[in-house]
Structures are given as C-alpha cells and as structure tokens.
Amino acid sequence: MSQFTVVANTSSHVLYLDIGNIAAIKLFAELINGNSNECTVKQLQTASLEFKERLQLLDKIGERVYKMKQFFNEIPTGQHYLFLPGRVEDQIQIYLYTRQLSLLDKVPLQFSNLERLSSFLYDHYEVRVFNSEERINIGEYEKSKRVCRFCGRSMPNATFKQKAHAISESLGNKGLICREECDDCNQRFNQTIEQDVTRFFQFFLILNGVKGKNGSPTLQGNGISITNNPSSRSTLGRDTLVLKVKTMPDTRDIQEITKFVSDQFSFSNVKYVPQNIYKCFCKYVLSLLDNKYLQYFKETINWINEPLSFHRLPPVWHYCVSRSHETPYMAIMLRKHNHKELPYCWAIINIAGYQFLFILPFCTKDKYKFVGKGRVQFFLDGLKNIMPNITLQPVNLNSITLVSLKINANINISPECVEGRDYSFINLQNQPKG
C-alpha cells in the first residue's frame, strides 16, 4: 500500500490517497501525467484544463472517488497543487505548503480551520522554510566581500573555495549552500559536530535510502553491517536493505533466522556526543538565516565553536511523521514582536522522517533561557494549537558525555513473503571468488 498526500489552496486543503496495486498506480500516473507508463510524479502540479478533463478516469474506481473528484474540481483551473509521497499530518507543514501555493499563484490564502489552529504561529512568528530539494545559495556572492559567520574572518585571512552545505551533505542536502562559511570552519565542523549528527541518524538514513556525499552509507556494528542497495529498487520504489552478519544459524527456518539477525543489532562501537547534535542543529539555522539576524546570535555562535562544556540548555523535542524525505528540510520561526515570554527563534528540522523541534539558546533577543518548566510550558501550550495531533517527545541533547548508538530492531518477515522474490539469504562463504 502506497500513501500520498495532495495539498491545494482550497477550503479542503488536503487529500489523503491510499494506492494499493500496480493498476491503481498506473491509473493515477495517467491522471497526473497524462501517461500511464510515466510513473514518476513531480511534486508541483498544475490543475490544467487537460487535467480536469482526465478526472473522468477516476470513475473506473467506483463511487468512492466522489470526495476525490470533488477535491480536484475545487482547485481553480490553472492553479497549482502538490502531490506528495506519504501521509503529511503535520499541521504546520500543511499550512506552509498552502501558503506557498497562494504566493505562487498570487491568490488569497483560503480561510479554513487551519488558520484558527495556527493562530499562535502567525500571531507571533515569521516563518522561513528551506527545502534542500531546491537550489539556494545563502550569503554574499562576491568572495572578496564574504565574512565567515562562525569565525568572523574574511579574505585574505580566510578562503572560500569549498562548497559549504548549510545542512550536512551526509543527510542528503545537495541544494542549500552557505557562501559565508570559510574553508577552515567547514572542515572543522565536518570533522566534529557534523560527524556526530551523521552517526546519530545513519541508521534512519539507510532505511530511507538517503544518499550522502559518497552515495549510500554503510553502518558497521558489532558483527553486523547495514546498507541500502538502490540497484534493486522494487515496484514500490523502495531500495533493498542489505544486512550482513559474520555468522548465520544452520537453518532455513525463517523465524529462527530473523530472530538471530534481530539479536545482532549492536552498535556500541558507534558513538556520539548528544550536545554536539544540538550545536549542529543550531549551526544549520545560522547557516540559513539572512546574515542581518546574526548579530542576535553571537553567544550562540561562541557556544557552537567552544570545546565541550556543560550548559543548561532548552529542551529538544522530536516526533515522527509517516512520510520520509530523501532530502532534509527546515522551518525557522523568528518572533516578530517583543513578547519575551516566547523564544525569539525556534526551528523544526526533518531528517529521514524524524522531526526535531528546538529553541536556539543564548539569543540576545531573549529575556529568559527557557530551561525552567514554567517558561517551557507556556511555549508548549502555544504549540498545541498548531500541532493538535502531534505528541512531542523530549530527547536529551544536553549531555557532553560520549554515548553509544542504540537501535531497538525487531525484524519480521510476513508469511506471504516468498524467499527469492521478496527476500534472499546469501552465504558469502559459499560464493565463488572473482
């Protein structure tokens, strides 16, 4: 079963689709693309006259398509809509999508309950969204005029020859580039805090087929390795997950084998520092913002640059979304008034389907540090209005102690799966050499 989300600037805003078989996939390919053999669907679509005429294809499905046809017919001819993989339930993201569509088509944003639910966000914050599928260069174009955001140096005391990714390339970012990060800082971050982020997310990046700078990564554990093989992509658009273990039980019983492999998930050799992940998240924000805002984050930059030391930091929360992205995206919120009960800047980053919500610490625009329960709760109460169906789970990114990667894995292969078709076991010791 494949899930999709359609977002449009209409009163309905969102439509969820569950496509269960190849015939249905071909039907929707013909509906969207006008060609049943072209199964790749672009995210940004136009409700053209030809598309409206093709809506009659939905009649093949039966009466249950009434709501679907109604949704597509509500989109004015010539306006845009988004066809997205997975189920998008994040209310913030849905609103941001519809807002982008309204700006693109130069039409008013349609009134809905979404406006009411999101009143906290729009009353208090300006929102900036960065999708790494887009190609955006942030900062000064001329190298001779550049000043590094993180060390303050400029030419000739610093060089800007390397391409500095605003969000680590290892996380799948290819398009977001920060021009105002010198080569020394780029190399330093790549060898320190960005390494911890990569280690922390590596398993989820592999599961979702996210490719980094050197292609598909491999996670090496204690007696096990995991990688993603894109050369054997299935009809559902998923790569083959390859698990390698040093030894295998002498059996063909699928239950015994899957239990054995599940028990091998030990990655005590993969270590990271939690606070470095928090630092790196904040570094991403400061790489994406216009440089006019950097004056408020000098102490934040000092903290990012300093050696590991204990600080009382605001909490960080995470939640999961049902769809994954091959590329990361980030939403940055900047307070547009002097309401000091709220943090000046907070952000949401999505990496491989995991959303992390965090406050930028040490901002001079803030009166409070947002480390106490009372200050944090006031902020959380506001968030409940814009994320009514999301449960935020706190995650400890305060610690400066090196910790091991922990993965709770339970591998199950359903009885209807067939060996050789849906999965395979290969004993490398018995493979011919060469």
Q: Provide DSSP, 106-170.
A: T-PPPP-HHHHHTHHHHHHEEEEEEETTS-EEES-SSGGG-B-TTT--BTTTS---S--BSS-GG
Task: Using alpha carbons, select from 282, 325, 333, 317 the residue that is nearest to residue 390.
Answer: 317
User: In the Cβ-directed half-sphere of 395, how many Cα atoms lie within 13 Å?
Assistant: 19
pLDDT at 429: 47
The encoded tokens of residue 83 equal 């066809």
Q: pLDDT tens for the chain, 434 residues: list them.
A: 577 889 999 988 888 887 767 777 788 888 888 877 777 778 899 999 999 988 888 877 765 677 788 899 999 999 999 988 887 766 667 877 888 899 999 998 875 544 544 667 778 888 888 888 878 899 999 999 999 999 999 999 999 999 999 999 999 999 999 999 999 999 999 999 999 999 999 888 887 778 777 777 788 887 788 887 766 554 445 567 788 887 777 776 777 777 777 777 778 888 999 999 999 999 999 999 999 999 999 999 999 999 999 999 999 999 877 555 668 989 899 998 888 899 999 999 999 878 999 999 999 999 999 998 888 998 888 887 777 778 899 999 999 999 998 877 677 777 777 777 767 776 644 443 33
Q: Where are the domains of the chain?
A: 2-110, 118-434
**Strands (DSSP E) found in 1-48:** 2-8, 14-19, 44-46
Question: Which helix (H) or strand (E) covers residue 256, if one does?
Answer: helix 254-263
Task: List, in order, residues 6 or more apart from 198 with CB less than 8 Å away.
Answer: 168, 170, 171, 212, 217
176-178/403-405 β-pairing: unpaired
Residue 2 is predicted with a pLDDT of 73
| pLDDT on residue 215 | 73
* pLDDT at res. 431: 41
Residue 267's pLDDT is 83
- Say which residues have a Cβ less than 8 Å from residue 260's Cβ, sequence separation at least 6: 245, 248, 249
Indicate the burial class of 205 (C-beta count within 10 angstroms; 0-12, 13-18, 19 or more).
buried
Instruction: Identify the pLDDT of residue 327.
Output: 81
Q: Between 373-386 and 91-105, two packed helices, what is the crossing angle to 10 degrees?
A: 50
pLDDT score at 220:
84
Cross-strand partners of 394: 317
Q: What is the pLDDT of residue 430?
A: 44
The enclosing H or E element of 94 equals: helix 91-105
CB 277 within 8 A of CB 355: no
Alpha carbons 234 and 416: distance in angstroms, whole number: 17
Give the three-state DSSP class for 227: strand
Other CB atoms within a 10 A radius of the CB of residue 260 amount to: 16
Q: How far apart are CA 410 and CA 259, in angstroms?
A: 8
